[in-house]
């Protein structure tokens, strides 16, 4: 139950309540440092990953206005066009600059040089596609990037450094040392793809999906590796307000 409302954000509505009873039942998650709030959104092209990312980004920024965010947009998508003027927005070939900054903060906090704990979030759209492209160009560099991301995933929580990424398929090979286990919030959107479910969930959880058919912006939510929900990400009512929150988190 909701013990501390201040540390919760709503990710969407219950899929079953929406379709079964026509009710908007919010599904919320804890984003405090007590829990792992690294976020992974997966799903095939067009499943609604980037759309959902915008919404969650705005919610994180709204909940903690002191957040400092960095945005790596490998595909330089239309969904994020409005972020292009922001100082901490890094498209295409510049995505590694976002990682360098956030990894630098992690190291300073880890060594004790930086004792502040204001929330820092690195958002990386199409992370896996970016790694695969890097591997083709420079294998060593790709390995360094993956190891840094793994380190953020493994020790970031207590240092208030969060990783939030989207990808089509979260293959274990791009999350070295089993670091994929550190995502506290996992969403798989769109049409069910058995192989993606198998990467992220035990068989008994997959069987609980039964015959549900997920469309764009709908799917499975797994919290802390143990709490399973089926959700629907609703349309955004106030796009301008959402964009304003994200722009501020990438600028101030
Ligand atoms: N929750 C939603 N409700 C209604 N429409 C949605 C929702 N999410 C996404 N859409 C629509 O679906 C389309 C695809 O969404 P989006 O671009 O977020 O997908 P994606 O998974 O990021 O795809 P890609 O892998 O190609 O980047 C968009 O045009 C968007 O308007
Ligand atoms: Mg996208």
Question: How many angstroms does the Cα of residue 45 sit away from the middle of ligand 2?
Answer: 7
The number of the ligand 1 atom at minimal distance from the alpha carbon of 51 is 18
171 lies in a domain?
yes
Number of domains, the chain: 1
52 lies in a domain?
yes
Taking a C-beta distance cutoff of 8 angstroms, is the pair 142, 134 a contact? yes
Interval 180-237: pLDDT, tens: 889 999 999 999 889 999 999 999 999 999 999 999 999 999 999 999 999 999 999 9
Contacts with 76 (C-beta within 8 Å, 6 or more apart), sequence order: 91, 92
127 lies in a domain?
yes
Q: Please state at what angle helix 49-63 crosses helix 239-249, rounded to 10 degrees.
A: 70
The number of the ligand 1 atom at minimal distance from the alpha carbon of 12 is 1
Phi, psi angles (nearest 5°) of residue 100: -55, -45
Please tell me the residue having the least CA distance from ligand 1 atom 16: 48
11 lies in a domain?
no
| Segments forming the whole domain that contains residue 230 | 32-249
Question: How many angstroms does the Cα of residue 93 sit away from the middle of ligand 2?
Answer: 17
Q: Is the pLDDT of residue 238 over 70?
A: yes
- The secondary structure element, H or E, covering residue 154 is helix 139-155
Question: How many angstroms does the Cα of residue 70 sit away from the middle of ligand 1?
Answer: 22
Provide the greatest CA pair distance for the chain: 53
Interval 150-185: pLDDT, tens: 999 999 999 999 999 999 999 989 988 888 889 999
Burial class (CB in 10 A: 0-12, 13-18, 19+), 49: buried
- The secondary structure element, H or E, covering residue 105 is helix 95-111
* Least distant ligand from the CA of 73: 2
Question: What is the structure's pLDDT at 6?
Answer: 72
Contacts with 72 (C-beta within 8 Å, 6 or more apart), sequence order: 90, 94, 95, 96, 98, 99, 122, 123, 124, 125, 127, 130
Interval 43-68: pLDDT, tens: 999 999 999 999 999 999 999 999 99
Between CA 162 and CA 83, with CA 249 as vertex, the angle to 5 degrees is 110
Question: What is the structure's pLDDT at 176?
Answer: 82
83 lies in a domain?
yes
Mutate to test the pocket of ligand 1, among 216, 221, 230, 242 (most ligand atoms within 8 A of CB): 216
> Is residue 117 helix, strand or coil?
coil
10 lies in a domain?
no
Question: How many angstroms does the Cα of residue 159 sit away from the middle of ligand 1?
Answer: 32
* Least distant ligand from the CA of 189: 1
Between CA 230 and CA 36, with CA 246 as vertex, the angle to 5 degrees is 50
Adjacent-strand bridge partners of 161: 120
Cα radius of gyration rounded to whole Å, the chain: 17
Question: How many angstroms does the Cα of residue 1 sit away from the middle of ligand 2?
Answer: 32
24 lies in a domain?
no
Between CA 137 and CA 146, with CA 141 as vertex, the angle to 5 degrees is 115
CB-based pocket (< 6 A), ligand 1: 43, 45-51, 77, 79, 216-217, 233, 235
From 13-22, 108-117, 190-199, the region with the lowest mean pLDDT:
190-199
CATH code of the domain covering residue 100: 3.40.50.300
Give 55-84 as a DSSP string.
HHHHHHHHH-TT-EEEEEETT--GGGGGGT
20 lies in a domain?
no
Q: Is the pLDDT of residue 143 over 80?
A: yes
């Amino acid at each position: 139950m909701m013990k501390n409302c201040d540390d919760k954000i709503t990710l969407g509505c219950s899929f079953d309540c929406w379709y079964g009873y026509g009710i908007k039942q919010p599904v919320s998650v804890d984003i405090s440092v007590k829990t792992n709030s690294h976020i992974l959104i997966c799903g095939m092209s067009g499943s609604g990953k980037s759309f959902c990312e915008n919404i969650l980004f705005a919610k994180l920024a709204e909940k903690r206005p002191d957040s400092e965010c960095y945005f790596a947009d490998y595909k330089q998508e239309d969904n994020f066009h409005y972020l292009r003027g922001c100082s901490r927005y890094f498209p295409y070939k510049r995505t590694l600059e976002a990682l360098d900054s956030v990894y630098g903060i992690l190291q300073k906090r880890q060594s004790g040089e930086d004792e502040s704990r204001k929330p820092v979030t690195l958002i990386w759209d199409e992370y896996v596609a970016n790694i695969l492209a890097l591997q083709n160009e420079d294998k060593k560099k790709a390995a360094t990037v993956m190891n840094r991301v793994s380190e953020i995933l493994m020790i970031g929580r207590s240092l208030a450094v969060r990783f939030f990424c989207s990808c089509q398929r979260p293959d274990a090979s791009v999350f070295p040392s089993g670091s994929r286990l550190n995502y506290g919030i996992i969403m798989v959107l769109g049409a069910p793809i058995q192989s993606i479910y198998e990467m992220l969930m035990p068989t008994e959880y997959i069987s609980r999906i039964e015959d549900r058919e997920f469309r764009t912006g709908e799917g499975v939510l797994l919290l802390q590796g143990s709490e399973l929900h089926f959700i629907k990400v609703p349309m955004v009512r106030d796009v301008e307000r959402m964009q304003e929150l994200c722009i501020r988190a990438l600028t101030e």
